[in-house]
Amino acid sequence: MFPITKLLTIPWAVALALLAEPKVLSVPDTLLARTSMPEPSGIVWSATLSRYLVVSDDTGEKESGTNHAPWLFALDRTGVFDREPIPIVGLDQLNDAEALCQGPEGSLFLATSHSANRKGHDKKKRRRLYQLSLVGRELKILGSLDLAQAIAESAVVGGSAVDIEALAFHNGQLYVGLKAPQNAKGAAYILRIGEVLSALKSGVLSPSQIERWAELPLLVDGENGKVIQGVSDMSFLSDGSLVLLANSPKKMPADGGGALWWRKTDGSLHLLRRFPGLKPEGVTTSPDGKSLVIVFDNDRKLPLWIHQDLPLRLAPATPSQR
């Protein structure tokens, strides 16, 4: 919960927004008959479908042989998932999908984690960036490539293996937020990729197209002191600032709950809110642009979401980190 002493110092409307708690999303039995429980890891609004499109870590069912089905899920404005998923045509599997964002001309970018699985296996199907186009109620692949190989060759994160959980497209460039690794001081990386559309078309990304855009100290209070977080999703706002969700990386000290951050255009970083015991995984703006929509991976339980005021109303008077 947000500290009560802080609530006493800010306007009542803002205090009410900070006290708002996530609500359960509704998953129809007909959808659950085809797939495991959705575990939201990214969300965008589709004006064409008048639905949010949600990417999930896992899809399909092992028992029926449809594990890693190439699907996105559709979610209406009231928080009810559609009974039918949105298929990606021409793709046999979508393994560990983690990030989703709007692209140019109504397209979408989707990325898998590019990380090893629980058994430590580094599979090619977990290392894909896709550009997708919505045709009717299906998604068509416009291009794809392997981000991990180019990032490793560029040495922008020291050649370490990456865990990708966030994408954002802004001013013609693709931004990639990393859950891991962090730099030597524990700051999270955001990378920027130039000329990504031509790279997706050719299927080859040059290491020279990748640069470090930001290194953010996403440090929160844990049970035994400060805890490092990595980027779990992000979205640019209309003024060019960036909102970020963050959780503790795999095999790192637990943070006790994820956080919502705001990087202003001057580079200052503000901690807006903690979510005790929860994992915020996807953030986008609402269709009217007046609020943030955040979804939570709730493991095998019903997923959650919340509508959160834009950070211009929630930001503290001074940055929590610079």
For the chain, the domains span 4-314
pLDDT top residue among 66 and 263:
263
Q: What is the mean pLDDT of residues 53-67?
A: 88
Q: Is the pLDDT of residue 125 over 50?
A: yes
CB 143 within 8 A of CB 131: yes
CATH superfamily of 4-314: Hemopexin-like domain (2.110.10.10)
Question: Closest Cα to residue 191, out of 174, 205, 179, 206?
Answer: 174
CB 233 within 8 A of CB 221: no
Q: How far apart are CA 27 and CA 22, in angstroms?
A: 16
Q: Supply 189's token pair.
A: 């990386």
- 118-127 burial, b at 16+ Cβ within 10 Å, e below that, comes to eeeeeeeebb
DSSP class of residue 25 equals P
Q: How far apart are CA 69 and CA 254, in angstroms?
A: 30
Predicted confidence at residue 223, as pLDDT, reads: 83
pLDDT tens string 211-234: 999 999 999 998 888 999 999 999
Name the pTM for this structure.
0.90
Which residues on neighbouring strands pair with residue 289, listed in sequence order? none
Question: Closest Cα to residue 83, out of 92, 91, 73?
Answer: 73
Q: Is the pLDDT of residue 193 over 90?
A: yes
Torsion of CA 88, 125, 250, 231, to 10 degrees: -50
Q: Is the pLDDT of residue 313 over 60?
A: no
Question: Closest Cα to residue 305, out of 281, 273, 322?
Answer: 281
Predicted confidence at residue 118, as pLDDT, reads: 56
Question: Closest Cα to residue 222, out of 246, 244, 195?
Answer: 246
- Compute how many other C-beta atoms are within 10 angstroms of the C-beta atom of residue 128: 22
- Mean pLDDT, the chain, whole residue set: 89
Is the bond preceding 181 in cis, omega lying within 30 degrees of 0?
yes
